[in-house]
Amino acid sequence: MTTPQDSPAPDPQMLRVAAVQMVSGTGPAANLESAKRLIAQAAAGGAQVVVLPEYFCLLGRKDGDKVAIRERDGEGPLQDFLAQQAAAHGIWLVGGTVPLACDRPTRVRNACLVHGPDGRRRARYDKIHLFGLSRGDESFDESATIEAGHTPVVVDAGPWRIGLSICYDLRFPELYRRLLPVDLIVVPSAFTYTTGSSHWELLLRARAVENQCYVLAPAQGGRHENGRRTWGHSMLVDPWGEVLAVQAEGEGVVAGTLERRRIDEVRRSLPALRHRVL
């Protein structure tokens, strides 16, 4: 592993980022091993910020499975794993989501935790918008096992401002306006195949264009042990809405470089954020 002493000083005008795509199963231990391997792959490729997908630690056979592995805020093997991986590689690690205990024993907070290069936790965002779908044979109701969060969160990774969101949040543009100004929006997700095939890329590119920032969206992507199929297509989108990198299905790492001059160029040529009235 490369140490900070061996590496050249990073250019503050550029940021190397990576989205980890997974096909998580029903066993947390196996999922952590997969995440560990993919984080190492991303770090070896020079990523300074690595983002895991939603439910990286578990896609159970039933909704209550994530409640069974919930952890108290600040303690537990899932949180320890994220801290250790961030410190081991000297990276900013956005830990997908972890089920954290709340006041109601039958529910959890679906929490996105951010750890800095020293392993210390720097931010926590609890998913605000809870997914619900009833379409044909598919039915989902996250509110049955998840307690919604309420507070938008932005974290400063050095000079780069990163806005946090999770999966279904992507459909609610007002959340992202609350995050401004940001340079990067992350969207760890587990979009269903049905909704992802119709809306995933469309919504990601729209969020990038309207907020004139990069969007990095790691996803679950494939056929899971529990029979569920997720859309995948983890991607990096630039402030003009151009898709810079994408992976359709299967495990992998989607990487790219954020450029400050690209953000400035887009905002200068089309100053839509300054033209806002409402």
- Active site (annotated) includes residue 167: yes
Phi/psi class of residue 210: alpha, beta or left (left: φ > 0; alpha: ψ in -120 to 50)?
A: alpha
Q: What is the dihedral of CA 51, 55, 58, 61, to 10 degrees?
A: -150
- The DSSP bridge pattern shows strands 14-21 and 49-51 to be parallel
SS3 of residue 257 by DSSP: strand
Q: Which of 142, 167, 201, 213 is catalytic?
A: 167
Residue 225 among the catalytic residues:
no
3-state secondary structure of 40: helix
DSSP code string of 109-165? EEEEEEE-TTS-EEEEEE--SPPEEEETTEEEEGGGTB-------EEEETTEEEEE-
The reply to whether 57 belongs to the active site is: no
Residues 239 and 183 sit within 8 Å (Cβ to Cβ) = no
Supply the DSSP symbol for 36.
H
> What type of residue sits at position 245?
A
Active-site annotation holder among 57, 102, 112, 127: 127
DSSP bridge pairs for 160: 157
Q: Are 61 and 12 in contact (CB under 8 A)?
A: no
Neighbours of 126 (CB within 10 A): 21
For residue 123, is it left (φ>0), alpha (ψ between -120 and 50) or beta? beta
Identify whether 181 is preceded by a cis peptide bond (ω within 30 of 0).
yes
Catalytic residues: 54, 127, 167
